[in-house]
């Protein structure tokens, strides 16, 4: 038999949902209706505290893999010259200037994406 989670607000055994903001398990009775909360699953506690966006720490924890991809792009773009020199390949550093500019331009949409996610949850987050 599967163990059921308890609701963190009322203690019910039917905590089928998870609040998008605090990530606590809640039942459908302790969930704010979608018409009121927008498109997210929100608990009564977060609604009473008027929580409408994620904190910076929560956003970083939830999107660490995306930040890792961005860091990997930067490492690939910025640091290939020393590795190529170690391999014995001589490369003119000015050849990487367009790549650096393109990487900087690619980072701008990601920053706006993270800021938008901090304000409003993506659809289907439960």
pLDDT of residue 88: 82
Q: In terms of pLDDT, which residue wins out, 98 or 18? A: 18
One-character DSSP codes across 96-116: GHHHHHHHHHHHHHHHHHHHH
In order of 1, 13, 31, 60, the CA distances from 66 in angstroms are: 37, 35, 29, 9
Gap between the Cα atoms of 121 and 39, Å rounded: 7
Q: How confident is the model at residue 1 (pLDDT cuts 50, 70, 90)?
A: very low
Q: How confident is the model at residue 120 (pLDDT cuts 50, 70, 90)?
A: low
Residue 29 has pLDDT above 50, yes or no: yes
Question: What number of H helices and E strands is found in the chain?
Answer: 6, 4
Stated pTM of the model: 0.55
Per-residue pLDDT tens over the stretch 39-98? 778 888 888 888 888 888 888 888 888 888 888 877 776 667 766 777 788 877 777 777
Q: Check: CB of residue 53 under 8 Å from CB of residue 44.
A: no
pLDDT of residue 109: 86
């Amino acid at each position: 038999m599967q163990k059921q989670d308890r609701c963190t607000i009322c203690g019910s055994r039917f905590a089928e949902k998870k609040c998008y903001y605090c990530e606590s398990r809640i039942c459908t009775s302790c969930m704010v209706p979608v018409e009121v909360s927008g498109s997210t699953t929100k608990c009564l506690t977060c609604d009473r505290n008027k929580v409408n966006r994620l904190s910076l720490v929560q956003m970083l924890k939830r999107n660490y893999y995306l930040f890792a991809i961005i860091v990997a792009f930067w490492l690939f773009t910025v640091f290939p010259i020393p590795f190529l020199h170690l391999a014995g390949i001589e490369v003119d550093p000015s050849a990487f200037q367009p790549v650096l500019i393109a990487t900087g331009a690619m980072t701008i949409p990601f920053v706006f994406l993270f800021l938008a996610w901090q304000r409003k949850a993506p659809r289907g987050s439960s």
